[in-house]
Amino acid sequence: MTTVYSEPTGTDDDRRPATVAQAEAAWLVAITKGDEEQRHLMLRDCVIVHGPVGNVHDRERFLTYNASMGATETAETSEVMCRERGGRAIVTCYQKMNIRRVPDLPPFLVQAVATRVWFSTDEGWRLGHMQLSRRQPSV
């Protein structure tokens, strides 16, 4: 199964995901929209582990770093596996993003294995932890 989101849906479900599937879909839309949409889906104490050297960033530092990398134009996931139990869910998937680092050049492909830990809150599902491990494009 491949899930692709590049256009915002503009529904309340984007802001208050009632299911993990809605949270995942909202996340893929949010990373194409920018910091505020991502921040809204993240817990205040969310921790992100990413990059080739395993950066460990809190929410604000990750959002700043991510914005400096260029605009994410499209995002898609495949081979999504979800384990949900007791108000928590662990989602593991392959994730591809097309990122435009320089306006005059075509976007470049970033591939990663992503693990996201979601928590059920009164405001819907929120991201509490994410690890992105870069992958090389398949030959």
Report the pLDDT value the prediction gives residue 1, as an integer from 0 to 100.
Answer: 42
Q: CATH no. for residue 101? A: 3.10.450.50
Report the pLDDT value the prediction gives residue 44, as an integer from 0 to 100.
Answer: 96
Counted domains in the chain: 1
Within 8 A by CB and 6+ apart from 16, the residues are 123, 124
Report the pLDDT value the prediction gives residue 138, as an integer from 0 to 100.
Answer: 67
Report the pLDDT value the prediction gives residue 51, as an integer from 0 to 100.
Answer: 80
Residue 66: domain span: 2-135
Q: State pTM to two decimals.
A: 0.86
**Could you give the CA distance from residue 77 to residue 59 in angstroms, rounded to a whole number?**
22
Residues of the chain with pLDDT under 70: 1-14, 137-139
Report the pLDDT value the prediction gives residue 139, as an integer from 0 to 100.
Answer: 60
